[in-house]
Structures are given as C-alpha cells and as structure tokens.
C-alpha cells in the first residue's frame, strides 16, 4: 500500500518515529555522518509536538537537523 507524500502528520502519528528514523538513516548515509537515531525522549517530543504540514515537511526538518549536527557521531535528543 502506498501513502501519498501529502499525507498530513496528524494522519500518520503512529508512524512518525519510524518515518523520522528512516529519514535520519538515509540522510546520515548521504551526508557521511553517523547519526544513531532518536533517543526515547526525542521520540516522545516528536510524537507530542504539533508538527505542521505533511510527511515531506517532516523530511525537510530531519534533513536540516542532520545538516546542522556539529559532530559526525550523534543521536537526536
């Protein structure tokens, strides 16, 4: 089953962590950074945060976060 990229985050709240970790993994490889994913605290913040927009916007948020990491080895908190 395919999900359109314009699905709102509110429609996919149960998938936010899985989707975010997938984006983190892909951008980490692309940018040659070792980002290990989200801490449990970060997962909860992401689930509880009122994310605006759609899945593509979540992707852009994660991409910027990976870009701005200062070290090559990290975990989002």
Tens digit of each residue's pLDDT (9 = 90 or more) over 27-57: 999 998 888 888 888 889 888 888 777 888 8
**CATH of 9-76 given 1.10.150.450, 1.20.120.610, 3.30.70.20, 1.10.8.60:** 1.10.8.60
- Summarize the confidence of residues 6-30 as an average pLDDT: 85
- Is the pLDDT at 3 greater than 80? The verdict is no
Indicate the pTM of the whole model.
0.78
Nearest C-alpha neighbor of 19 from the set 51, 52, 59, 57: 59
């Amino acid at each position: 089953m395919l999900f359109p990229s314009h699905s709102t985050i509110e429609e996919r709240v149960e998938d936010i962590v899985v989707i975010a970790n997938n984006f983190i993994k892909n951008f980490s490889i692309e940018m040659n950074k070792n980002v290990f994913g989200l801490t449990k605290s970060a997962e909860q913040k992401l689930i509880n945060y009122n994310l605006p927009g759609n899945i593509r916007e979540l992707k852009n948020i994660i991409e910027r976060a990976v870009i701005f990491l200062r070290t090559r080895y990290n975990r989002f908190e």
